[in-house]
């Protein structure tokens, strides 16, 4: 008599042929939209918790998490339960069939830049996301996302814009890193460029010359252009996201007037005047790496009004959760990586990807973390290059990495180091952001100090 159980045990290939399904990108988007609609209608607009979704779908929180992460296969009936509970029918293009014991291939590609909207590798940092998604829909909102480089600012921004788009709002992103140096020659040229880029992105005719009169000044002209042309042309509210705002800090004469204008726009939506209604159709999202180290008047600065979302490092629990998404055993991986990398998002993602796509062990990764062939090496060299561009930071950072406790340093330099993600500030005292930086720069910076004529490694 044929023994199926024995045959499967004797032939592992038989066992690995078990099939299952995961959500496709389009299926995931449909599910997210349906959840949001249900939350708006039945849960006062607040995102459902896993427990609430469990009650609604009849699935366990663990199964719901498995479905949403889209890394391990589930049976098709599970997806049907989930979809039907949200008044959706499961269509063939909503899921992908895969081997249930194999991770999807997307993990073979390391994350570069923002985490894609359909990726299960985005780590939420509650309650920031829920606050952000609610605030972006408020009339006249001004929201600032602040964090060092590669902490996930753009990833959060893209998700906020997606929420806005799903609610019918228009969105546009202006990245100041794309501006040529000539754009910053003077305020008038800068604001003309500012208006022109946004007009083009909204696919509207350029009417700048019609609204520009040198008698009134550049800030007034720019405000008039938005108030009497751009915003009235749109049939829905506009979300304007300003990315890499730090680039404007380098031009104090322009920055002071520009940021003062943004503050005035925010105030206009609250005046209760005839102009307020049009400015309530405008939402401003500002992305920056550190505080503006500019002598701005407190009544003119947009950096002390609106909502500030300051992204923290990952907690140990979040690193453990992310490790499971990479199909790693969290108990053996999370704590050593957390101690080495301090929960820095980009470095943590890099390390977990390396461990899933290479044969090396965690011990080898840690032991060779500052070696020339380490997966961290390109990142560390980029950070070193940034330091070398600002020679005054080299000696300051050398003091920081050589001290076992946080130390007092020049605040301007501290903010710049913080914007690079190289330090954490504790009561305005600076310490290395992680042990990896302490080890690498503690080794490299003394060598640099021996070659002062170039400030570079021999």
Q: How do residues 78-87 score in pLDDT, each as one tens digit?
A: 999 999 999 9
What are the boundaries of each domain within the chain?
A: 4-102, 128-310, 378-449
Provide the pLDDT for residue 331.
84
Provide the pLDDT for residue 2.
31
Provide the pLDDT for residue 294.
55
Q: Note whether 236 and 286 are within 8 A (CB).
A: no
Q: How do residues 380-437 score in pLDDT, each as one tens digit?
A: 999 999 899 887 899 999 999 999 999 999 988 998 899 899 999 989 899 999 999 9
Provide the pLDDT for residue 330.
85
pTM of the complete model: 0.76
Provide the pLDDT for residue 3.
38
- Give CATH for domain 128-310: 3.40.50.300
Per-residue model confidence as pLDDT tens for the chain (458 residues): 333 234 333 433 333 334 588 888 678 778 888 888 888 889 888 878 888 899 999 999 888 888 887 767 888 899 999 999 999 999 988 888 765 444 444 445 667 778 999 888 999 999 999 999 999 999 999 999 999 989 999 999 999 999 999 999 999 999 999 999 999 999 999 999 999 999 999 999 999 999 999 999 999 999 999 999 999 999 999 999 999 998 998 898 899 899 999 999 999 998 877 788 999 999 999 999 876 555 555 556 777 889 999 999 999 999 999 998 888 888 889 999 999 999 999 999 999 999 988 867 899 999 999 999 999 999 999 999 989 988 789 999 999 999 999 999 998 899 889 989 999 998 989 999 999 999 999 999 988 766 554 445 43
Provide the pLDDT for residue 209.
96
Domain 4-102 CATH class label: mainly alpha
């Amino acid at each position: 008599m044929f023994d199926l159980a024995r045959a499967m045990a004797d032939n592992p290939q038989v066992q690995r042929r078990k099939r299952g399904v995961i959500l496709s990108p389009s299926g995931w988007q449909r599910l997210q939209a349906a959840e949001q609609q249900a939350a708006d209608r039945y849960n006062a607009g607040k995102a459902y918790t896993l427990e609430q979704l469990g009650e609604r779908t009849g699935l366990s929180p663990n199964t719901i998490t498995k479905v949403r992460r889209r890394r391990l296969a589930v049976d098709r009936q599970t997806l049907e339960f989930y979809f039907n509970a949200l008044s959706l029918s499961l269509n063939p293009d909503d899921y992908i069939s895969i081997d249930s014991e194999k991770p999807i291939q997307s993990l073979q590609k390391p994350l570069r830049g923002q985490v894609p909207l359909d990726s299960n590798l985005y780590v939420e940092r509650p309650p920031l996301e829920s606050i952000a998604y609610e605030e972006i829909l408020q009339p006249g909102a001004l929201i600032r996302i602040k964090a060092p480089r590669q902490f996930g600012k753009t990833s959060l921004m893209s998700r906020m814009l997606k929420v806005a788009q799903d609610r019918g709002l228009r969105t546009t992103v202006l990245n100041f890193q794309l501006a040529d140096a000539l754009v910053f020659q003077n305020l008038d040229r800068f604001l003309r460029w500012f208006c022109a880029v946004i007009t083009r992105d909204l696919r509207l005719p350029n009417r700048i010359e019609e609204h520009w009169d040198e008698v009134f000044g550049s800030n007034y002209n720019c405000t008039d252009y938005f108030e009497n042309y751009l915003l009235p042309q749109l049939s829905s509210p506009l979300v304007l996201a300003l990315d890499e705002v730090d680039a404007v800090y380098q031009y104090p004469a322009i920055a002071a007037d520009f940021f003062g204008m943004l503050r005035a726009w925010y105030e206009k939506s609250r005046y209760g005047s005839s102009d307020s209604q049009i400015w309530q159709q405008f939402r401003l999202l500002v992305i920056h790496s550190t505080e503006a180290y500019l002598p701005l008047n407190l009544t003119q600065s947009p950096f002390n009004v609106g909502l500030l979302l300051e992204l923290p490092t990952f907690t140990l629990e979040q690193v453990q959760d992310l490790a499971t998404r990479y199909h790693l055993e969290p108990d053996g991986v999370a704590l050593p990586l957390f101690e080495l990398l301090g929960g820095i998002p980009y470095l943590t993602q890099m390390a977990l990807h390396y461990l899933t796509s290479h044969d090396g062990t965690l011990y080898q990764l840690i032991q060779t973390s500052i070696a020339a062939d380490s997966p961290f090496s390109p990142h560390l060299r980029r950070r070193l290059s940034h330091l070398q561009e600002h020679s005054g930071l080299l000696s300051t950072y050398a003091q920081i990495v050589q001290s076992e406790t946080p130390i007092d340093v020049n605040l301007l330099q501290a903010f710049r180091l913080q914007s690079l993600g190289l330090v954490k500030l504790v009561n305005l005292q600076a310490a290395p952001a992680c042990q990896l930086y302490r080890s690498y720069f503690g080794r490299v910076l003394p060598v640099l100090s021996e070659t002062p004529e170039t400030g570079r490694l021999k």
